[in-house]
Structure 1
């Protein structure tokens, strides 16, 4: 089973991750040998994972962040947070990735144990996951960062150099390729399979034609269009590769649209399994201890039961043979008193030889304890000659009683251990059901209108507003049609608002759209309670500026008649509505929200910090059964502080 990415894997994923160039670094998390970079991209949130010695890709499997960030985390956040990714590169064809953010470069070494190093603009080491020294380089603060000794790049190698490298090896061609061209055994084998050259053939024995075929096949493989897939063996994940490989021709496969998705599914599942194991490891160890204890207790219980039963039976046996046992006791006692123990023993031995019935019953003699052990109905019975028959029987009954008492205690301990074992098994079951320390962020594909602020009016019309200069520009240029209506607040920096198919809309929708325009403007953060807005037709809105003036990104001119609505209240409602088959948290004019849900929260400009307002809204929505992320609520609210004035529902 694959445990780390190859140079080929890194080449494909780095090429794919060029889409992240320009993304803003939001926050960085560090746990063990991996870091996770939370990015703000054009498509929304993305998480980039870099694990020393293992992997590098976008992930949806997110570990719970450590409560106390490490010093390495703090250094990375200090220098990288808020910056923009300028470049993502692979160093040569090596298992090394570079992420450049402004004047800093984060270097991920994915070979052997691996490392993660931050260097400044002068290539000096600012911080590293671990500091260490090697024969040819040192990873320590302020030292110049040096890459490991370079190996041959199969993408750049020329024909003559390739031939020289392969022919100087006195080993099988598959080993020569893997070793000299830095590609690993899998791809060396794949190249030879495609070229139909025996992988076990000595490199030095290859013909010019075979060498040329291998060279061309290698170049073709490493420039092949991606077809990412996870390879399964016996129903289990076996490998994850960026292209279709002939070596896995007869294996079951699952295909993905991007290699990063395939890597995430593969390594993410492995991470989840490890997290489950980690979470239950201590409980499983405790369970094993309890099972061992239970086994010992079961053996003890069996022993005490047998002791109690055996001693009870011997006691009963003495009384069942009362006359004979009493006669034997009397005879043995008199004989030992008259003859002494040595002579008594001698007479018993003689009696056995003569076939004396009483002598044959004797199994052992203990002069020290003044006891004789006889066999009675197949059981050995120890009789003390200085005690009466009743006292001898009582000794066995007492032993049986003590064994029963111990049995009761052992039984309680056994039941207690079983109870603890049941509790541990329930805890293990609960742990498996619990949300793991690693959770998967399920990302659905956003619909086109989610790029903007939006709501559905009380009359059912879709209303859109820009979020910033880029989305304002995009909204007017690409999404405003001739049948729409345009709205704008009489406030500097207010968003452009478009009512889709708005020329069919009634006064209620136009009022709501204009109210939305003033509420989503800077008038909200200024604490105003009302402002003016107008509506116009799409053909009145143009990028053509008055003579001598320039309109920046997101700015447009409106010519002709403006239809004004004065004194519009800055008041909105937040609720969860259903639209196009999905639920969305939406912030819009009260009447618009009210038309689509009977539970909503009315807000106005106020003194409560936006972050605290978001928390309070989230708690209310959770009480209503909606699990909504704070960042989703934050994205819908107007700019600035506010207050909750009423909760309906």
Structure 2
């Protein structure tokens, strides 16, 4: 028997009943594993740590997991996880519902500043969508654009078309739907009543009805028995009367198993494998050994944990291996991403070429296209309805008029006319001319080519990441033992902590990040902030690196760096970000600390923030802008009395390097730090003082000399006098 890999609609209905007990739990953090598994870590007054998992890949599930079953957190959170953290950190879990009888769960979260909905689609290709309080999609794992529904950032989320809910259908409606079928009873229950194969067979067994009974031979008593069996299941789900079961079968070649085990019994995972999990015992599974559980969540969690360590697939439990990082899996992942990126680039090339071809077709058939557009525009000026225009064009096509024959579609709602020229269809904006339509197509081709350039930059970044993983693998294999296996993390979720200060030898893993020639740091929640070191870099940051969803910071005082809070890297696609206040204040502190406020010895300063579209190089008439300066138009968000303070430290994981920036961000990432403020010591002298202090803290002092020398640390100290803060 093939094991269950996706939860059914009835399974989800049972889980929703149990998940209600966690309402009020507060979200701590969000994670994303392998692009299909979302993990929300919550804290609940009654239940302690709560781990909510949603997986939408080959495995489709949503449930609360035992913290001991949760994998270690990924080293670097992807953009989707960052977005989730921004929206959900500190939010209260307000409840979960199942959308009608579909395999869709809607999780609601409430926070003082904004409410968020997370929709887990556990059908088809699977998806997780994050919605704001208005139902607009903030982000999703996959983009869906169909005639019936759209799931894409900026669009209103669309649920699938409603399906019949067999748990709520009346007897009369049930009989009507059954009689509309020309198949047998079990197939009708499975498809037209949406019960699925297993539960359709279960309902027949509970009702005492032959599964293959033809519909034309079924009578009212048959239907009543079936409807009562469904109603019994529905009532049990509503009341939460569960007796959860994991069903097993012997592994091929192992000794046959029999009988029923109980929760906590000594079952031999090496001899038995899991095949199903249900909220209550099934008649259809009576012949299989089973394990009972106190809750369906616990049963589902244990089922999928055992499914992952299926001895028939892996030969040993997934959690029994050595603590060595799975470099092979990471390498395979990066290679898979490169393959996808290469496919995307080819797709962009084809799309851009197709748009250019359409534009050139318009010019090559200028007179015909102009006649079509002129005809439609003239009719609209006379207030002729779109339907009548379409009828007129159709009549013209019947008479053999070339311009009318070219029209294949008229869409009054969108105001477009589609023509077919040489076998290629081109959608035209009816109120524009040939040139405007052609320019629009050329513009679209250019936009696609810009996306292709971004994808080419992204693939180079991924190749660099792949090389870095291979390098770390080689270093690991060359090292004596596992440098990350010394201590177990308290919660088993993040990589184990290491006492780097006391290690006699620390391996050097040097990064090569594009932003390191600027001033930079990563905020507490992982976003990159970059600042210019001079006027040339200020210009470069705005012209080359400022993205649509970034934020621009500057100090009120003259003589500060251009500071950008990045929504994404230059080669990554960006989505709008709901910035946390702490993140914004860290960027503001960075701008103030590296400005003339520090150089002038002030202990604090003011900064402001604007959106990229407010930043311009065009001065007012008669004015002049110096190199590295910009004109800011529109309203500003101010940050007042921001402390001039910088922490400088040594980072040991996942790379080794000196880092510096706002203390609240740096102390979380560095093994050890020194905090400085405006003072009496020149920049080079202060750097030497910081170096000596840091070097004394490490047993491996040669390591500090290599990656955090006084010269390297000076790069992170603001211009002007400094002193170590006591």
TM over 0.5: no
User: Highest CA radius of gyration, 1 or 2?
Assistant: 1
Q: TM-score range by the shorter chain?
A: 0.3 to 0.5
